[in-house]
Amino acid sequence: MASDFEQRLHVMLPFSTRQGVWRRIAVLESEMTQVVRLMNDCAGAFRQVLAEPRELYLNVQQVRSLTVYIRWRRRGVRGQQAYCLLNSPAGQAVLLRQAPELQQCYRQFDHWALALNLAHSLRLNEIRRLKKYLKDLG
């Protein structure tokens, strides 16, 4: 019974040893670095595609929890740039002031930003779970 259960359990995990867990963490950390590079590339590309003045721009932000986001920010004086969700009432108001082709541009970059945020979050959360798993194993 125990042997059968162990075999079925190992099929569900992408590793079978502690070393395998650490290798998985290393892969995820490398992928997170790549995601952050893509976030910065995306923000830079938006600045190149849409010249000043722009009401919103993409900004990459790292918070204390090690989470990195690419988010829309309102133009403003340093420290006074509020974040804005494109699908919020404020974001929709900005979109409505744009020509249709610019609306499409904003939506495309928003789609990419959402995907990048998800990609980063999935990896960060898996790393946290794996480290907790190792800690709980003792």
> Is 79 in contact with 107 (CB distance < 8 Å)?
no
d(CA 14, CA 20): 8
List the beta strands (DSSP E) in the chain: 56-62, 68-74, 83-84
**pTM of the complete model beyond 0.85:** yes
> What pLDDT, on a 0 to 100 scale, did the predictor assign at position 82?
86
Average confidence (pLDDT) per 10 residues, the chain, 138 residues: 79 88 97 98 96 90 90 78 90 94 96 98 96 93
The closest alpha carbon to 70, from 36, 104, 45, belongs to: 36
